[in-house]
Chain A
Amino acid sequence: MTRVRPLTLVRSFWRGLFLQAGWNRRGMQNLGFAYAMLPALRDLYSGDDAARQQALARHLGFFNCHPYMAAAILGGAIHHEERVARGEEPPAAPLLYKQTLQGPLAAIGDGFFWTALRPFFGALAAAGALAFGWPAVVVALTIYNTIHFALRIGMFRAGYLQGDAIVGAIARLSLPVAADRLRLGAAALCGVAAAIAVLVGALTGGRVPAILAALGAVLGFAALARGARLLPAAYAAILLGAGAAFAAARLGWSP
């Protein structure tokens, strides 16, 4: 067989969701990539154990990419393996494809998904939860995963159908530009969340918690910008906040 069956593509995509299960320092996602490739290699080399073993060994080499973006490389690697099985390419072609794309796509994926899209929806869910409760979390996660799965499935499909042309398709998405906007949007949502904390403080405890929340936001940001460590600073926010509220109550500074 020189083409992978549609159901096999689905199985490979599903297995690609386990890309980082056996993440290790030496080969990084090599185990996960080989795990995802095996159904396709079984189709392509069904009567030739030695060729199948050789093909799998190719994919046990070093591989590291962003887990969502890796879907594009997984689809593209299957595309190239089909060509190898048809004798149209040398066996090194899928490896070259992986080696060429993994670094750039990792950088795009980390920059867009991990440091922009996910923080944006995390901040949206958190600010929404503070204001409206759990329905905001459900809405934010539903939108995030609609985008996430649409891109992950779309890139796998594009990688499989287009092979090397996937680079142009991903470039057209302009993900770095969108990432910059999402980061600023997330910063704004964090500001909204801090303000909600001030308002909740005012509503539940009066002016003392409201002032402490405002100080927590402004002084906390300043302390972190000057290099304060996150967890000790969080402890300080709780303990200083509680201590100040305790002192205010003792001094008779009522709400």
Chain B
Amino acid sequence: MGSYLALAGLAGLAAVERKGFLQAMLSRPVALGPIAGLALGDAAGGLLVGAPLELLWLGSVNLGAALPVHEALGTCAVAGGAILAGRALGTGATPATAALALLVAAPLALVGRRLDRLVETDVNERLADRAERLCSAGAIAAAVRTNLAGLALPFGIAALLAPLGAAAARFVVPPVLRALPGLERPLEAGWIAFTAFAAAAGAKALRAKGAPAVFLSAFAATAVAGATLLFWRLEVRP
């Protein structure tokens, strides 16, 4: 229960940080994953999930009225699910638990966007009306304080949904891996393929002229250099 409460608090704070307060990248997946992992006692597991999700959602930005997917909610749910499933299996978060947790909980990022839209159109417009009424009545301190009331729902929505997503993964993933132990290695390969795909998604999201050529060149150059280095090390120190 303590793990779910910690995850709820963290997801709520991240939902606030990503838009309502600060925006210092603390709610981005690459930071939030390890922080969630730290809160749940498996920082490495959180980083395992957070780094690929950062690349996957690199283009998730709030431009004007266009809302991105709720990457902070998605990250907390997936990282929390992978770690709690790993804890139940006694292995800690692994690529296999991460892959299955993502399949179970990632759609929450889309649900979060839909709820964000609802909050900003319906609820926050009422806050704006209230602020104008209070200002007209001379209660100017109360009028501007309505701004802070806008933090409550994003906090509450993420604090509710992230533990639910993590719990779903926690209860789905261990039985699957116990029933089909032969899936562990293929899922590990699937997670590695996903990580490379996420990097491609990040490059695609940049929408920069020349980005495809730069992405593919850097990919090929690093892969060849890394493979050469590995081969050389194996040859020299078999």
Residues of A in contact with B (beta carbons under 8 Å apart) = 17-18, 20-28, 30-32, 34-35, 38, 49, 52-53, 56-57, 60, 64, 67-68, 106, 110, 114-115, 118-119, 121-123, 125-127, 129-130, 133-134, 137, 140-141, 144-145, 148, 180, 183-184, 186-205, 208-209, 212-218, 220-221, 224-225, 230-231, 233-235, 237-246, 249
Contacts and interface: CB of A to CB of B under 8 A. Distances in A.
A241 B135 contact: no
A127 B140 CA distance: 48
Contacts of B69: 231
Contact of B47 (A123, A134, A194, A238): A134
B222 A191 contact: yes
Which bracket fits the contact residues of B?
A: 35 or more
A194 B219 contact: yes
A216 B193 contact: yes
B193 A240 contact: yes
A65 B219 CA distance: 36
A187 B54 CA distance: 14
Interface of B: 16, 19-26, 28, 30-31, 34, 43-44, 47, 50-52, 54-56, 58-59, 61-65, 69, 99, 102-103, 106-107, 109-110, 120-121, 124-125, 127-128, 131-132, 135-136, 138, 140-141, 143-151, 182-183, 185-208, 210-212, 214-223, 226-227, 230
A234 B128 contact: no
A119 B199 contact: no
Q: Which of A28, A191, A204 has the most CB of B within 10 A?
A: A191
List of 4 A-B pairs having minimum Cβ-Cβ separation, nearest first: A191-B218, A241-B193, A242-B190, A22-B150
23 contacts: A20-B21, A34-B131, A64-B64, A110-B61, A118-B28, A122-B54, A123-B58, A126-B30, A127-B199, A130-B195, A183-B211, A191-B199, A192-B218, A194-B219, A195-B220, A195-B221, A197-B192, A216-B196, A221-B201, A225-B204, A237-B194, A238-B102, A240-B190
A234 B198 contact: yes
Contacts of B103: 235, 238-239
A122 B206 CA distance: 12
A241 B144 contact: no
A79 B55 CA distance: 41
A231 B26 CA distance: 23
B186 A134 contact: no
A68 B61 CA distance: 14
A114 B147 contact: no
A25 B190 contact: no
Contacts of B63: 110, 114-115
A136 to B, nearest CB: 9
A184 B138 CA distance: 52
A22 B124 contact: yes
B210 A119 contact: no
Contacts of B204: 221, 224-225
A22 B223 contact: no
A202 B230 contact: yes
B151 A49 contact: no
Given A38-B144, A180-B208, A241-B189, A233 B201 contact: yes
B225 to A, nearest CB: 8
B144 A31 contact: yes
A31 B150 contact: yes
B73 to A, nearest CB: 14
B20 A20 contact: yes
Contact of B135 (A18, A56, A184, A221): A56
Given A56-B143, A188-B214, 5 more contacts: A130-B195, A197-B196, A213-B192, A218-B216, A237-B196
Given A126-B52, A129-B51, A220 B197 contact: yes
Contact of A221 (B102, B188, B193, B212): B212
A205 B219 contact: no
A57 B135 contact: yes
B200 A218 contact: yes
Contacts of A186: 58, 202-203, 206, 208
Contacts of A115: 59, 61, 63, 206-207
Contact of B190 (A189, A202, A237): A237
Contacts of A145: 24-25
A25 B118 CA distance: 10
Contacts of B147: 18, 21-22, 31-32, 34-35
Contacts of A189: 218
A159 to B, nearest CB: 19
Contact of B54 (A125, A204, A238): A125
